[in-house]
Amino acid sequence: MFKEIYHARRKGMVHNVVNLFALIFFVLWIAAPVMSASISIENASFEAPVVDPNGFGATPLVDGWTEIDIDTLFSTNTGVFANTEPNSVDHIVNADGNQLAFLGSQMGNALQQDLETVYKAGCNYRLIVGVSVSGRFPPATVEPVDTLGLVLYYRDANDVVDIAHQTVEATGQSYTQLQDFSLELPTVEAGDAWAGKAIGIALRAAGQAGGFWDLDNVRLIESAPVSIAIENASFEAPVVDPNGFGAVPLVDGWTEVDIDTLSSTNTGVFTNTDPSSFDHIINADGSQLAFLGSQQGNALQQDLADTYKIGCEYRLTVGVSVSGRFPPSAVEPVDTLELVFYYRDANDVIDIAVQRIEATGQSYTQLEDFSLELPKVQADDTWAGMNIGIALRAAGRPGGFWDLDNVRLIESAPVSIPIENASFEAPLVDPNGFGAVPLVDSWAEVDIDTLFSTNTGVFANTDPNSFDHIVNANGSQLAFLGSQTGNALEQELDSVYKAGCEYTLTVGVSISSRFPPSFVEPVDTLELVFYYSDANDVVDIAHQTVKATGLSYTQLKDFSLELPTVQAGDAWADINIGIALRAAGQPGGFWDLDNVRLIESLPDQKAASTVKE
């Protein structure tokens, strides 16, 4: 039996403050929807217990975590240690705080924590850990290579049940710099066994004895899609007279398209029946639902105030059942219901996406959720920026009725990945000096002028009254890049290409007014590039070419490079993201660059390397 040592040293005052903060945060979350939230992890940077600076430098305890240590006598495989002095050969330069955790490399050693937060249906989770290796006793990098497992789990009674895991190999890890590794848990579904269960996180060694992993800065991100407001989404208005007929041929907030133009008998709202009734709908949201006649041409639709946003995905979900007395036809040709996304071109309704639901197998006592997915809105989609339209349309024969309830619309935004010095504000150009500096902080400058570096650098935007002032610059500085082939700016990021995710690199581009790139054949071009490093070799994955023709010297124009969904088997999956801006042309001209952005989509569950077990 492995020894489990749990050190729960929460201070009462701290606990109360945390709870108060959580309450305040929750209230704010309700008031203004957020895309993601950081979930509290106790002792996430391993600052407790405090190591005596004049002592051994390490302690075989980790407050707030359950230590699973196969050394049951002395617990030498799990604990915390103080980072070494900055001038030490094994000082970890990017540690978060003064201490880190150590974990023995032998299979069976682990740190784990059961959180108070639960897995929420509809949310995604990302566990991130800073990982390095011991400088003196690193895990094995020869076959069989030692590995570290990042795990999300839940408890079934007292049993730990793994949901998802990510393996980190010791090969290539530094002993002076932490590298972030992530584990993605795709959207939790309402029917998942872990939905509503407390979140469990674990860091597990899987290897031979003798080495140590160094761990720090454990983070857990919960991403919740934004719920877009739909008027009268659960069909509670108008209120049906409880002493009357039980239904009203009106639906507030919705446009009713009813082929019965005289009496509108095909669209309206009704009161759910008494709980003891044979056709009572047991999971209705509220006390009323909508009915929709099954004949082709009947519909409920609504034009929303929100618009289709570039880069966002949309999911329309509706609770559907059938009338107990007059169900839609379940024999051929089977009646269907359509869920629709549309937009308006002038007064014309233009469908974007449709999901069909057959009457076969539908219940008259229980709603079943059906969803329509709209993939990421692209900048050139005709509906980008247009008001969202949603419709529920019958497509069948007369005589039956669909029962509808609890219409929901979710907008999922991608994640913005940090790029250092993305708007080229560093180094700061002296406003009283030349106006440009041949340096670009945090970017690798590839400059064919190896003596003076005149092809890469940053410059201050000109005065607003100047003829060549760039009107939409982000900040007060931009980068310049000489037009000759061989000049480039590139940056290797801490983030990695995640299986299941798409990536979009966007750059603001203009040209120098005094020395523009060539517009005549062969036209000078700029390349936007995604790459990764294979050992020391730069391997391009995707590129987009931008021509100098037609570009302005007073206004930046955004250009984007799309990287399709990363597959688990791609050579670049889980490798650090590399971005490059490369000139491809003749000497003598300059590109002006600004506001570099990188967007990561929400993971596609089918392509993600993370697996549910």
Check whether 412 has a pLDDT greater than 70. yes
Query: What are the pLDDT digits (tens) for 62-89?
Result: 999 999 999 988 889 999 999 999 889 9
Confidence of residue 190 (pLDDT cuts 50, 70, 90): confident
Report the pLDDT value the prediction gives residue 36, as an integer from 0 to 100.
Answer: 58
In the DSSP assignment, the letter for residue 333 is S
Beta carbons of 92 and 177 less than 8 angstroms apart:
yes
**How far apart are the C-alpha atoms of 289 and 419, rounded to whole Å?**
49
More confident residue, 414 or 16: 414
Considering Cα of 277, then 280, then 283, then 289, what sign does the dihedral take?
A: negative
Q: Is the pLDDT of residue 613 over 50?
A: no
Whether this prediction's pTM lies above 0.75 is answered by no
Backbone angles phi, psi at 20, to 5 degrees: -65, -45
pLDDT at 432: 84
| Residue 602's pLDDT band (cuts 50, 70, 90) | low
Cis, peptide link before residue 427, omega less than 30° from 0 = yes
Please name the residue ranges forming H helices in 71-194. none
Q: Give the pLDDT confidence of 543-569 residue by residue, as tens digits.
A: 999 999 999 999 999 999 999 989 988
Q: Which among 128, 112, 130, 138 is positioned nearest to 207, based on CA atoms?
A: 138
Which three-class secondary structure state does DSSP give residue 425? Answer: coil
For 32, the token pair is: 């203004």
Instruction: Name the more confident of 335 and 123.
Output: 335
Domains contained in the chain, CATH given: 3-224 (2.60.120.260), 247-412 (2.60.120.260), 436-600 (2.60.120.260)
% the chain with pLDDT above 70: 92
Q: Express as a percent the part of the chain with pLDDT over 90.
A: 72
d(C-alpha 389, C-alpha 303), whole Å = 5
CB-neighbour burial class of residue 354 (10 A; exposed 0-12, middle 13-18, buried 19+): middle
Strand partners, 2: none
Q: pLDDT class for 603, splitting at 50, 70, 90? A: low
Using DSSP's 3-state secondary structure scheme, residue 599 falls into strand
Contact 500, 595 (CB under 8 A): no
